[in-house]
A = this chain, B = another copy of it.
Amino acid sequence: MLEVIKIKIVIDAFGGDYAPTNVIKSAIEIKKELPNLEIIFAGNEKMLRNAASNLKLNISDFEILNAKDHISPEQSPREILKEKSESSMAIGLKALNDEKIDAFITAGSTGALAVGASFFNSKIKGVKRAALCPTIPSINGKFLLIDAGANLQCREDILFQFAVMGNVYAKKIFEIEQPKIGLANVGIEPEKGLSQHKEAYKLLSNCKTLNFIGNVEARYAPLGICDVVVSDGLCGNMILKTMEGTAKFLMKSFKEAYSLNFKTKLAAAILRKQHNQLKKRLDYKNYGGAILLGINKPLIKAHGNSTYKTLKKTIKQAVNCVEQNIVNEISCNIN
Q: Is A267 interfacial (CB-CB < 8 Å)?
A: yes
Q: Is A179 interfacial (CB-CB < 8 Å)?
A: no
With A245-B223, A271-B268, A274-B258 as known contacts, state yes or no: A237 contacts B186, CB within 8 Å.
Answer: yes
Q: What's the least CB distance linking A239 to chain B, in Å? A: 5
Residues of B near A235 (CB, < 8 A) are 234-235, 238
Measured CA separation A124–B111 after assembly (Å) = 41
For the side of the interface on A, what is the size category? 35 or more
The secondary structure that dominates the A interface is helix
Is A250 within 8 A of B247, CB to CB?
yes
Residues of B near A266 (CB, < 8 A) are 267, 270
User: Of B241, B258, B260, B270, which is within 8 A of A218 by CB?
Assistant: B241
Most central of A252, A258, A267 by chain B CB within 10 Å: A267
User: Of B219, B234, B253, B260, which is within 8 A of A193 by CB?
Assistant: B234
* Residues of chain A whose beta carbon lies under 8 Å from any beta carbon of chain B: 111, 138-139, 149, 152-153, 184, 186-187, 193-194, 217-223, 233-235, 237-254, 257-258, 260, 263-264, 266-268, 270-271, 274-275, 277-278, 281-282
User: What would be 7 A-B contacts, judged by CB atoms less than 8 Å apart?
Assistant: A152-B186, A218-B245, A222-B242, A222-B245, A223-B249, A253-B278, A258-B271
